[in-house]
A and B are shown apart, each in its own frame.
Chain A
Amino acid sequence: MANLKDIRKRISSVKSTQQITKAMQMVAAAKLKKAQDNVVQARPYAAKMSEVLASLAVRVKPEKHPLLQRRDEKKIELVVIASDRGLCGGFNTNVMKMADSFLQEKSGGECEVVLSVVGRKARDYYRRRDWEFQTEELNPGMVDFQWAEKISRDLIDRYVEKEIDAVYVAYTEFKSAMTQEVIVKRLLPLEPKPLAEDEIPVEYIYEPSEDALLADILPRYVYTQVFRMLLESVASEHGSRMTAMDSATNNAIEMTAKLTLLYNRARQAAITTELMEIVSGAEALN
């Protein structure tokens, strides 16, 4: 039978862990709310942007702009978006798993893959595996558009210089607080969403010219995409952490209950033994 003092110690340690996980859960919930709002707020802009691009793209030939040109994928870049911090359940592991299987699949053939990482966890993971990075980024604390722009500009430059032939991004799409899905999506070359069948392309008057507008709008569309991916990833991170901390708290509660039961049993057994000793001692005197 376990020592009473040991059990007491374990109970108090589990309880303090529970307090921590509970606090982390609440913090994650608050941050999730904020991150979720950001995702929702960014949607009208992103949706409208792809609409404008789609209607613009049906009337220009892909040769007109390098970001629309497809090339044979001889060298591609994969951007892995993970988080800076751990303790968020399977969030980082899932991204890495997906990225790994993508790397395996692509690097099998004649295709060379280079890597860029966002988030400390992704950096550490691939550093341990001796990968070299094109770029590495840590979350500056708040996802802002400038950050997305900086990341995208880098990618666009390398793409336009034909250093790389395509860019893929592994990130986590936020479905709800409970469900997130890791996906690998091609960022470059751009593939404007085709118009729906019943949609008739609108004949616009352009100011300035079509080409100038396209050259301006395409990079901006890439920024928007990256911005959205970052926002989704951050929301997913908090969602995942909240869920993980919730189950950790529940486990701690369960554990405390079990240990308390164990403790009471042990205490009772000790009392019984003591009584037995007294009784048998008294009997021996008679």
Chain B
Amino acid sequence: MDSDKIRLEIATPYRQVLDVEVDEVIAPGEEGQFGVLPGHTPFLSTITVGELIYRQGNQLRYVAVAHGYAEVEYHRVTVLLDAAELPEEIDVDRAEAARRRAEGRLAELSQEDHDFYDALAALDRAMNRLHVVRTRTPNYKG
């Protein structure tokens, strides 16, 4: 393997989303965003809802991610996530519906309910998907 590249693997319980060679990875860690360049020291972090960015040459690419883990080795980054989608895979209507549903539930629930946080998390995920698809799809019209 080329020694100044990183192999980025992203997997969810349902499928392997990505397995590519990249130059740089920027991931949304729970304690803040972190960047990984080739030769990074081994590192294990939780990942939170957000946007994972990877760079191939001058090309930046984006992945919408949900909760999970990232394992960083010198030339490898493995990301295990509950869900991950490339911008072109995101179903805008579904995300929009999920957002409305979550908002509806939040309006009914009080902060003491356990479900409140589930709904909040759902809203978070839906908003993230929408954000990624809107900002990262070239010529997005919607």
- Contact between B43 and A208 (Cβ–Cβ < 8 Å)? no
Least CB distance, B41 to chain A, in whole angstroms: 6
Interface residues on A, range: 20 to 34
Decide yes or no whether A41 CB sits under 8 A from chain B.
yes
Bound complex: CA of A48 vs CA of B41, how far in Å? Answer: 19
Bound complex: CA of A205 vs CA of B40, how far in Å? Answer: 11
- Contact between A48 and B44 (Cβ–Cβ < 8 Å)? no
- Contact between B42 and A207 (Cβ–Cβ < 8 Å)? no
Find B80's partner among A52, A56, A202 (CB 8 Å cutoff). A52
Contact with A along B62-86 (1 / 0, CB 8 A): 0000000101010000101010000
Contact with B along A185-215 (1 / 0, CB 8 A): 0000000000000000011111110000100
Bound complex: CA of A157 vs CA of B42, how far in Å? Answer: 33
Decide yes or no whether A49 CB sits under 8 A from chain B.
yes
B residues 6-20 in Cβ contact with A at 8 Å: 9, 11-16
Interface residues on B, range: 20 to 34
Chain A residue nearest to B31 (CB atoms) is A207
Chain A residue nearest to B74 (CB atoms) is A202
Chain B residue nearest to A207 (CB atoms) is B45
A residues 132-171 in Cβ contact with B at 8 Å: 145
Decide yes or no whether B29 CB sits under 8 A from chain A.
yes
In the assembled complex, which residues on chain B have CB atoms less than 8 Å from the CB atom of A24? none
Chain B residue nearest to A148 (CB atoms) is B13
* Majority secondary structure of chain A interface residues (helix, strand, loop or mixed): helix
Find B16's partner among A41, A56, A145, A205 (CB 8 Å cutoff). A41
Contact with B along A43-66 (1 / 0, CB 8 A): 011101100100010000000000
Decide yes or no whether A91 CB sits under 8 A from chain B.
no
Known: A45-B80, A49-B80, A202-B73. A207 touches B44 (CB 8 A): yes
Known: A48-B78, A49-B80, A52-B80. A208 touches B46 (CB 8 A): yes
- Contact between B44 and A56 (Cβ–Cβ < 8 Å)? yes
In the assembled complex, which residues on chain B have CB atoms less than 8 Å from the CB atom of A205? 41-44
- Contact between B46 and A213 (Cβ–Cβ < 8 Å)? yes
In the assembled complex, which residues on chain B have CB atoms less than 8 Å from the CB atom of A48? 9, 11, 71, 78, 80
Decide yes or no whether B30 CB sits under 8 A from chain A.
yes
Find A207's partner among B13, B14, B46, B82 (CB 8 Å cutoff). B46
Least CB distance, A53 to chain B, in whole angstroms: 10
- Contact between B29 and A41 (Cβ–Cβ < 8 Å)? no
Decide yes or no whether A42 CB sits under 8 A from chain B.
yes
Closest 7 CB pairs of A and B: A45-B11, A207-B45, A41-B15, A204-B44, A44-B11, A202-B42, A44-B16
Sample (25) of A-B pairs whose CB atoms are under 8 Å apart: A42-B15, A45-B13, A45-B16, A45-B80, A48-B9, A48-B11, A48-B71, A48-B78, A48-B80, A49-B80, A52-B44, A52-B69, A52-B78, A56-B44, A145-B14, A202-B42, A204-B71, A205-B41, A205-B42, A205-B44, A207-B30, A207-B31, A207-B45, A208-B31, A223-B13
A contact residues vs B (CB 8 Å cutoff): 38, 41-42, 44-46, 48-49, 52, 56, 145, 202-208, 213, 216-217, 223-224, 227
B contact residues vs A (CB 8 Å cutoff): 9, 11-16, 29-31, 34, 41-46, 69, 71, 73, 78, 80, 82
